[in-house]
Amino acid sequence: MSIKEEIVNLKEELIQLRRDFHSHPELGFKEVRTSRIVEEYLQKLGLEVRMCAGTGVIGILTGAKEGKTILLRCDIDALPVEENTGLEFSSQNNGVMHACGHDGHTSMMMIAAKILSNHREDICGKIVFLFQPNEEDAGAEEMIKQGALQNPVPDAVCGLHIWSYIPTGTIGIIPGPIMASSYYFKVTITGRGGHGGAPHKTISPIDTAGHVLAAINSYHTYEQDSLKPTVISVGKIHSGQKEIIVPDILEMEGSIRCLHEDDEAVRKRFCEIVEGTCKAHRCECKIEFVCGNTLLNNDESMTRLVMDCAEKVVGRENILTKNISVMLGDDFAEFSRRIPGAYYFLGTGNEEKHTTYEHHNCKFNIDEDSLAIGVEMHVKSALSYLGVKIDE
Ligand SMILES: [Zn+2]
Ligand SMILES: [Zn+2]
């Protein structure tokens, strides 16, 4: 039986699993039910299973022969969104929804694990199935801190994201940067408060913030190379209590996203410009950064491997390489900056099935026909990396 046929035989289970997870979404690091189901499922398959970072699950399939180790990673968390899809298997948890497709990710990887474990005798090396909690807020780092990349140490990593922006039956992938890094900043500008009728006796952080905003925009337009995609946006400014008082302090928060490797230089210049502008206006400033995601940079040879698999699964004409990279991020980057990796988008967009809504939208849904394609990609990329030929 070919891998494709094996997947067809498991399609009902695949969809059932997805719908069950969809009805029971859980927020990051609280995926207790989800991870218990995954854990028991992998144990039944005879994998070596361990928990990691609370609700993370790692299943290890050891082939009959020696070889390399490949890590397949998926994410299992849902979002704080009130579902409005009208699906019969809608979320039963108020205010929580699988609005990013991670329900599909979890079920695809479980079925991939089932198929691959049936081929243990043919496999040389190891396949690590990693079910990661809290993708939406840096869960990968926590798993790595707690040893996810040890025992065994993987040689390579593959992962995918269901993607409503491209049609079902297509796969989007490119070598190099595919998803942006993001750093959240908080700038605290301190002046000297006083009477609104005597501003010359105060140092206004609000006035200074206006200059800071202008300086950031100038930097972005006139100094930053526009062929190196960079977004600097301010999402929150807070200062002041009353119209007749110049406040002491102002807080400004936003993010810097880069789809290139020079993100550190961008942050450095951002700091110089903000600090310099504040100084010119007699204010003190403090800048803090929190890393949202690092750059997701696809390894050349792993990308080629995934592309070769995609050619077998969806055909060369359905591999999309134009307009694929995005300024969004994924903490898959935490794995792929440590070991060679490839990350790709699995098309799920289908106008007739209303599956072209934005990710994180309350009407987001996936085309379940894309799930079998994802399973085949997982299975074939793992086998191909380990050099195992089953049905070719
Ligand atoms: Zn997602
Ligand atoms: Zn998401």
pLDDT at 337: 96
pLDDT at position 173 over 80: yes
**Amino acid found at 286:** K
pLDDT digits (tens, 9 = 90+) for 64-91: 999 999 999 999 999 999 999 999 999 9
Q: How far apart, in whole angstroms, are the C-alpha atoms of residue 328 and residue 197?
A: 45
SS3 helix, strand, coil % of the chain, rounded to 5?
35, 30, 35
Around 148, how many Cα atoms within 13 Å sit in the side-chain half-sphere? 31
Calculate how far, in angstroms, residue 207's C-alpha sits from the geometric centre of ligand 1. Answer: 39
Residue of 75, 268, 260 lying closest to 180 (CA atoms): 260
Expressed in angstroms and rounded, the spacing between residue 356 Cα and the centre of ligand 2 is: 15
DSSP class of residue 223 equals I
pLDDT at 346 over 90: yes
Using a CB cutoff of 5 Å, list residues around ligand 1, an ion. 100
Residue 338 Cα to ligand 1 midpoint, Å, equals 21
Kindly give the distance from the C-alpha atom of residue 169 to the centroid of ligand 2, in angstroms, as a whole number: 21
Q: Which residues contact 90 (CB under 8 A, 6 or more apart)?
A: 22, 23, 83
- pLDDT value at residue 196: 96
Spacing, Cα 22 to ligand 1 middle (Å):
14
Per-residue DSSP letters for 102-161? HHHHHHHHHHHHHHHHTTGGG-EEEEEEEEES-GGGTHHHHHHHTTTT-SSPPSEEEEEE
* Residue 391 reports pLDDT greater than 80: no
d(CA 100, CA 162): 8
Residue 392 has pLDDT above 70, yes or no: no
Edge-first strand order for the sheet with 249-258 is 230-239, 249-258, 181-190, 284-293
Q: Do residues 230 and 260 make contact, with C-beta atoms less than 8 angstroms apart?
A: yes
Give distance in angstroms: CA of 20 to centre of ligand 1. Answer: 18
Structure tokens at 113: 């694990």
- Distance from residue 198's CA to the centre of ligand 2 (Å): 49
E strand map for 53-102:
56-62, 65-75
